[in-house]
Chain A
Amino acid sequence: MMTNPSRILTQGQFSFLPPLTDEQITAQVKYALSKGWALGIEYTDDPHPRNTYWEMFGNPMFDLKDPAGILLEINSARKTFPNHYIRVTAFSAIRGVESVTMSYIVNRPKTEPGFGLVRQETDGRTMRYTIHSYATDKAEGERY
């Protein structure tokens, strides 16, 4: 029994909503910039709820102050990797926080095969469960 029947990767903010439009992304980027957070773009083709280390697309944009510049970079990432997951992260450098405060997916592959439950029987019929992504059945680069 899967609790994710729509098969999409629900990682990060807004992942249960329909895909964000460019205006919505601009609004989110403006909010992050107003707080002084550094924005970065990351991509991956290996979907899994526990895969949090994605590849970086260029360095985090520490010195940009305007959403239009970040949108340019996002569209460039979409053009380079049209069939990968792309997300925007915002990093807060405030002492005591020093971590990622926002992370939302801005691009998804056209079809996502979804996840399956893998059961492993250990000693004494104790069951251990994990989630397996059907996309990773193929090699990297051939998944989408």
Chain B
Amino acid sequence: MSETDPLNAVLADDAQVNLEKEFEDSNVKDVLDKLDRELIGLKPVKTRIREIAALLLVDRLRKQFALTSETPTLHMNFTGNPGTGKTTVAMRMAEILHRLGYVRGGHLVSVTRDDLVGQYIGHTAPKTKEVIKKAMGGVLFIDEAYYLYKPENERDYGAESIEILLQTMENNRDDLVVILAGYKDRMDKFFHSNPGLRSRVAHHVDFPDYSAEELLHIAKLMLATQNYRFSPDAEKAFFDYITIRMTLEHFANARSVRNALDRARLRQANRLFANASKSLSKTDLMTLEAEDILASRVFLEGKLDLDGDEGSDAVVD
């Protein structure tokens, strides 16, 4: 049964293989650990990636018995509210799939409707084909995919682009992975009107909203990458800020947190400026104090700063 080449020898039918050893030999473990560290929450996403990694491992073991199988369909659909990390995870997905060995190159081509649909007859097909060619061997990420299909406007060429995508998604499954992303209700409507697309997408992943603790953790990570930190009081204040902010309208999860941190940095800069006579240490420059957070309108008036004049009294003319 086994060939003369010891490296590619096919195992006998009753041989045993070790899954644990295979797991350690591959670099799947670092990929999963890195994912755990750098992305907070997102349990369904991490579960799905783990499942794909497990499939890869089992595939490898099967190869040792010369059991071949088809490449699994990897096209995905990410749905969720704004700011839940759909675009971020899609960018990571290209690298992850490459490390797991499912795509050849690790590059990601990120497009929206404008990059795929043309303005006049005959313009759409070459445009879409160009984008597909560029993405070959990697991942094509289509953000706000529902804009591709506009049933009200009969002169809209989005349907043509969808046709070409469908063909490529089916015929070049080994070469290209397509990830669609958008808000849940609109994506559901989009798939409803495109059954061909729905049947080609194997993984539908919903991105849940973050909890307050997760958002605080994300805030601390964001600050750490920019070399800032919270003082202990500031951390408590920011947690209170998040819990109140989550109840108000237009809450965009991680994006709202990022905006709030930017405003806190603005207030910190103005606070330091107001005490300009004092000399500052590195720690002073790095730390956000509780007053930088508590000055927010969300605390003072219980509503949002929609006209952007928050912190204006601290501005020096």
Contact = CB atoms under 8 A, between A and B. Distances in A.
B173 to A, nearest CB: 11
B182 interface: no
B134 interface: yes
B220 interface: no
A63 B134 contact: yes
Contact of B137 (A61, A63, A66, A73): A66
A68 interface: yes
A72 interface: yes
A68 B172 contact: yes
Given A66-B175, A68-B175, A73 B133 contact: yes
- For B105, B132, B137, the residue with the greatest tally of chain A CB atoms inside 10 Å of its CB is B137
B136 interface: yes
How would you classify the secondary structure of chain B's contact residues: helix, strand, loop or mixed?
loop
A65 interface: yes
Contacts of A72: 129, 132-133, 136, 172
A64 interface: yes
A64 B107 contact: no
Contacts of A70: 133
B158 interface: no
- For A64, A65, A66, A67, the residue with the greatest tally of chain B CB atoms inside 10 Å of its CB is A66
A68 B134 contact: no
A141 interface: no
A22 to B, nearest CB: 13
Interface in A66-95: 66-70, 72-73
Nearest to B171: A72
Contacts of A68: 104, 136-137, 172, 175-176
Interface residues of B, number: 14
| Interface range for A | 10 to 19
A95 to B, nearest CB: 26
A68 B132 CA distance: 10
A69 to B, nearest CB: 4
B95 to A, nearest CB: 15
B162 to A, nearest CB: 18
B118 interface: no
Contacts of B137: 65-69
Contacts of A73: 133
B85 interface: no
A61 B133 contact: yes
Nearest to A70: B133
Contacts of A63: 134
- For B107, B133, B134, B138, the residue with the greatest tally of chain A CB atoms inside 10 Å of its CB is B133
Contact of A64 (B104, B136, B172, B175): B136
A26 B245 CA distance: 55
B133 A65 contact: no
Contacts of B138: 65-66
B78 to A, nearest CB: 23
A68 B136 CA distance: 6
Nearest to B126: A58
Nearest to B137: A66
Contact of A65 (B105, B129, B172, B175): B105
Contacts of A67: 137
8 contacts: A66-B105, A66-B137, A68-B136, A68-B137, A68-B172, A68-B176, A69-B133, A72-B172
